[in-house]
Amino acid sequence: MVRSAVLAFLSFGTLLAALCATTPVQAASPLTVGILSAPVMGYRDANHQVMGFEGELAQQICERIKRQCIFVLQPFSTNISDIRQGRIDLAFSNILVTEARSREFVFSERYMRSVSYYVGNPNTQPKYRSTRVAVIKGSVHAFYLQQNHSAAMEAVVYTDISDIYAALKRGDVDLVLLSTILQLGFLYSDESGLFDLIGNPIESSGLAGDIAVAINPAQKQLKPDIDQALRSLLTDGSFNRLNNKYFPFNIY
């Protein structure tokens, strides 16, 4: 009787072990990662590969946290909206960490410091009408102009960064207000030589601070791994190599 019970128990254990060995462990689903579509930050090359500082940074972080990622290049406001609505898991989108955004999203440790600047043609600034200033929808710059509205400045809101600079070239707007990194990306790529930084860097009124990965709160468990990946990129020199590939100065 006892011998039969032992044999039955061992047979059950063998069967259970076999089932465990043959049942595959379900792989984690791919992460959808929003990348800012902008010169220097995110674009696709002739081979349709994701390039740009934030594009390549996102790829390296996905490799280090050992997750498959699907990259989508889209405007800033779309990345913000998609994180908010849970349509994407991560956003590398030049997102400035603010108190208000920290109540909505989970943020990684910083990967860049940012200040803001105006860009325009120094020789064609208006004297007898309000200055038309282009800003990105949903950005801290749009909020800044809204809060500091005056008759001297008129905010013109765009969704896409490429549309902003096209408007500047056409003369539809007089100035563009964005982070310095994005402005320099435009100035480096523009061959006209007509445009330049205007005035001094703006480091107050919420227009300066840390840029970090925005994480969908439903994926908040990813934060420690992403932070560790960022630290490892900094310590092994990979971040500096990527920095130097796209910028002639330290952005960290």
Task: Report how far apart, in Å, the C-alpha atoms of 201 and of each of 173, 180, 205 are.
Answer: 20, 8, 12
pLDDT of 148 above 60:
yes
**pLDDT for 3:** 46
- Per the structure block, which two tokens stand in for 178? 């964005």
Please tell me which residue, 54 or 2, carries the higher pLDDT value. 54
Q: What is the mean pLDDT of the chain?
A: 90
pLDDT surpassing 90 at residue 36: yes
Give domain 31-113+210-246's CATH superfamily.
Periplasmic binding protein-like II (3.40.190.10)
Q: Is 70 exceeded by the pLDDT of residue 5?
A: no
| Partners of residue 178 on adjacent β-strands | 117
Cα–Cα distance for residue pair 207/194, rounded to 1 Å: 25
> CB-based burial of residue 170 (10 Å sphere; 0-12 exposed, 13-18 middle, 19+ buried)?
exposed
Can you give the pLDDT at residue 40? Answer: 93
What's the fold here for domain 116-202? D-Maltodextrin-Binding Protein; domain 2 (3.40.190)
**Does residue 3 or residue 194 have the better pLDDT?**
194
pLDDT at 22 > cutoff 90: no
DSSP 38: B
Round to whole Å and give the CA distance between 55 and 41.
6
Between these two residues, 9 and 33, which has the higher pLDDT value? 33
Provide the whole-model pTM.
0.85
**Intervals of CATH 3.40.190.10 along the chain:** 31-113+210-246, 116-202
Band (pLDDT 50/70/90 cuts) for residue 15 is very low
Closest CA to 115 of 230, 231, 205, 245: 205
Residue given tokens 């932070």 in the structure block: 227
The pLDDT of residue 49 is above 60: yes
Q: Residue 217: its pLDDT value, please?
A: 97
> pLDDT by residue (tens digit) across 178-200?
999 999 999 988 888 899 999 99
Distance separating alpha carbons of residues 57 and 116, to the nearest angstrom? 22
User: How many other CB atoms are found less than 10 A from the CB of residue 128?
Assistant: 4
Classify residue 4 as exposed, middle or buried by CB count within 10 Å of its CB (0-12, 13-18, 19+).
exposed
d(CA 245, CA 230): 17
Task: Answer for the pair 230, 108: CB distance below 8 angstroms, yes or no.
Answer: yes
Q: How confident is the model at residue 85 (pLDDT cuts 50, 70, 90)?
A: very high
pLDDT for 131 beyond 60: yes
pLDDT at 247: 94
- Min mean pLDDT across 97-106, 135-144, 147-156 is at 147-156
Helix axes 53-64, 223-235, angle to 10 degrees: 110
Of the CA atoms within 13 Å of residue 174, those in its CB half-sphere come to 17
Strands across the sheet containing 116-120: 153-158, 131-136, 175-179, 116-120, 196-202
